[in-house]
Structure 1
């Protein structure tokens, strides 16, 4: 998309909503504090923030606080959450496939503004957007303070092979395909080692923060296979090696076993979805230190929608039913095996703003609530390769969320976020009803 088009969409004053509380030095009086390093829930603490950073963290709550304080004594404070797999430019619906032919890029840009704010207000102060033209521009608009949303680590266009999961011409008829010609590395479609290098360099030119490849078929692409391998090991290695030259990490969408093996052996940072992970893939991921981002939410969503006539095209429907239903079981197996896990939902498949439901699904599958919360805080920061977020400690970004009660005892409270701060700016504050629940 041309930057001028996206600028027109993102600068439109009609998207302006209630102004957030701007960054000033203040104290947060927290009834409980989640220590992301240890996974422990601590007692009352005071968190001092200013200039976008956490200035001090101390046990207890003083009787008075200079400059006023935010009363979170009925809440648990924790680091702002990170969703490592979202797509902010769209959201699944029965019209999704036809809209690709009818809507302009600006339409998707307008939609992304609302989806970004929903995500932020749900407690997600950072996201990794894994595929889409809008995300790098939306990231810039958020960083400039023009719209409200999470900090975005943007992949830009995913890298696929011809006919692969992210080939943008899948489903086109022969006449349209002939008119447009075959997509190449600029469009994110590769068929050789040289193409792979060019595609990564194109993402660098376009300002991406991370590289995404589609190592196997996928559920929602207009193609029969949801799990066939779609790159050679050498092609993936060319992507990884070139990405490393530019300081990029590589996320690999992968459902099928062989595609996962090739991606892990080639050195990707994370496997996304991982549906048909077998014992050999588990062994390789542990050996290579590869992260797993499960996206249970997307699996459950597509499995449910596959039951509805007409929601998906018929070529997609059996994949959605088969693969979607498997992901939560795969997650349970991966956790028990000791694979490193980061939090991700694939929202854009499911509804934006419902990201925290993934915590509930993780706990249902056997992960302790504390470990699930770590996957979206300190572990997510490790996946991103950043060290200034994911924990509530002096010097780190002032990204803080609060929920009522005790999330380790009742993980369901993550769906009731009462307070959101990103870089020291407050976007959501408790209501009087929230405060009434103080212990």
Structure 2
């Protein structure tokens, strides 16, 4: 048996590894005629322009409508508003947005079921205009397979930056034993490697997720709304545990996101060196000032508390979650408005999976309602999100050398940002997935 495993490992090592997005066919050239082009969100849009794409990357942008070279494909967006593909910094691709039903069906599902759910959700998010997503909590093996299948071109979906399982203290938000009867809790505990207690154990938990393919690390600094335990939303990890998580992840070159509601937990995570604060529900002015000083990103996920309250009032959440949902929704709007007014760096994120996949763009109107301009909200979902991901050289704008992640809407979202809820055209890495508002046949070669 051991010899067979060694032989299999040797065979796998001998298989060539292809770079993500490397074309497998002959060089492909595409010309895109754009009526209005927001190539760099934050700057004034260009008029009639031609984007030239070769093998999935942008090679040139020219003024006017340039006739394509012989053999090139022409994409006519002359009457459209064209902008970079959107980035959602907080999704859960393997979640369907119905936590009560998911808990009820947990005993009959495995990674295979999760993978199928993920393929459906990935396509919904892509067709909504989101060409890159950061998945902050999914079964490690299933999300890794989905990520790699998309990169190989076998599955239609956005580029996925995955965290695997969220790191949590025992009994905290992210501990899958919460709310289970004792026999089932014991069974879960035997397979759970994302919970930790004490700095050394938290270092082990981070390394375990990286070993399972995590490209980013997420930890629960505070309680959470949807965890089935009446533990509130207060700080749950100690300062030393947070520092151990952040330092270990950074030593492996991974950025770190903290799930955080209570201000005490948020402040401790910022002082530990976390890269993004996700939710940031109960922010004090002093913590907002600290975020500005440290350059910490806020991912507000404004859509999540609104969705959670709606679900709680409809009886779709366990009783323990209802008071938490109400408290978070009340506080979040004021906290986010003050953070925006103070100039904290904002990156777009929705917590989709709590809300429905494909509805991600509803976040834009909430951001504008909290004080952002439409341009600033769009920049938060493009250039700024790319910066928060440390991928400015690859995505976030339409510039030579970057991936051809391009979307279009029929009218300017700078006048009415909710127009981004109806994306008409989607291209990811040079492949058209949606045109004229309709799904395109996805090429498998």
The Cα offsets for residues 328-351 of structure 1, whole Å up to 9 and x where unpaired, read as 332211110110000000000000
Structure 1 CA distance, aligned partners of 2:41 and 2:416? 20
Matched, 1:221 2:216: no
Aligned to 1:61: 65
Segments of 4+ moved more than 6 angstroms:
none
3-state DSSP of counterpart to 2:305: helix
How far off its partner does 1:98 sit? 1.2
The Cα offsets for residues 57-101 of structure 1, whole Å up to 9 and x where unpaired, read as 112223666524211111111111110000000122241221223
In structure 2, which of residues 69, 75, 78 is the aligned counterpart of residue 73 of structure 1?
A: 78
The unaligned stretches of length 5 or more in structure 1 are 1-21, 433-439
The Cα offsets for residues 1-44 of structure 1, whole Å up to 9 and x where unpaired, read as xxxxxxxxxxxxxxxxxxxxx98211111111113253322211
Question: Retained in 1: the 8 A contact 2:297–2:388?
Answer: yes
How far off its partner does 1:283 sit? 1.3
Instruction: Please give the TM-score of this superposition, normalised by the length of structure 1.
Output: 0.89
Q: 1:314 to 1:262 in 2, by over 3 A?
A: same
3-state DSSP of counterpart to 1:57: strand
3-state DSSP of counterpart to 2:65: coil
In structure 1, which of residues 322, 325, 328 is the aligned counterpart of residue 327 of structure 2?
A: 322
Question: Retained in 2: the 8 A contact 1:296–1:327?
Answer: yes
Structure 2 CA distance, aligned partners of 1:354 and 1:23? 35
Question: Retained in 1: the 8 A contact 2:177–2:189?
Answer: no
Q: 1:179 to 1:412 in 2, by over 3 A?
A: closer
How far off its partner does 1:216 sit? 0.2
3-state DSSP of counterpart to 1:74: strand
Structure 1 CA distance, aligned partners of 2:68 and 2:197? 65
Structure 1 CA distance, aligned partners of 2:73 and 2:371? 41
The Cα offsets for residues 260-303 of structure 1, whole Å up to 9 and x where unpaired, read as 01100000000000100111210111111100000011111111
**Aligned 1:349-360 pairs, distance under 5 A:** 349-360=354-365
Aligned to 1:176: 184
RMSD over aligned CA atoms reads: 1.9
The Cα offsets for residues 126-176 of structure 1, whole Å up to 9 and x where unpaired, read as 000001113222101111222111000000011000111001111112233
3-state DSSP of counterpart to 2:333: helix
The Cα offsets for residues 347-391 of structure 1, whole Å up to 9 and x where unpaired, read as 000000011111111112221000100001100111111121101
In structure 2, which of residues 404, 408, 416 is the aligned counterpart of residue 410 of structure 1?
A: 416
Aligned to 2:165: 157
Structure 1 CA distance, aligned partners of 2:166 and 2:27? 35
Question: Retained in 2: the 8 A contact 1:299–1:328?
Answer: no
Instruction: Please give the TM-score of this superposition, normalised by the length of structure 2.
Output: 0.88
3-state DSSP of counterpart to 2:131: strand
The unaligned stretches of length 5 or more in structure 2 are 1-25, 439-445
Aligned to 2:369: 364
Q: 1:154 to 1:187 in 2, by over 3 A?
A: same
Question: Retained in 1: the 8 A contact 2:96–2:356?
Answer: yes
- Bigger shift: residues 23-32 or 187-196: 23-32
Structure 2 CA distance, aligned partners of 1:247 and 1:181? 29
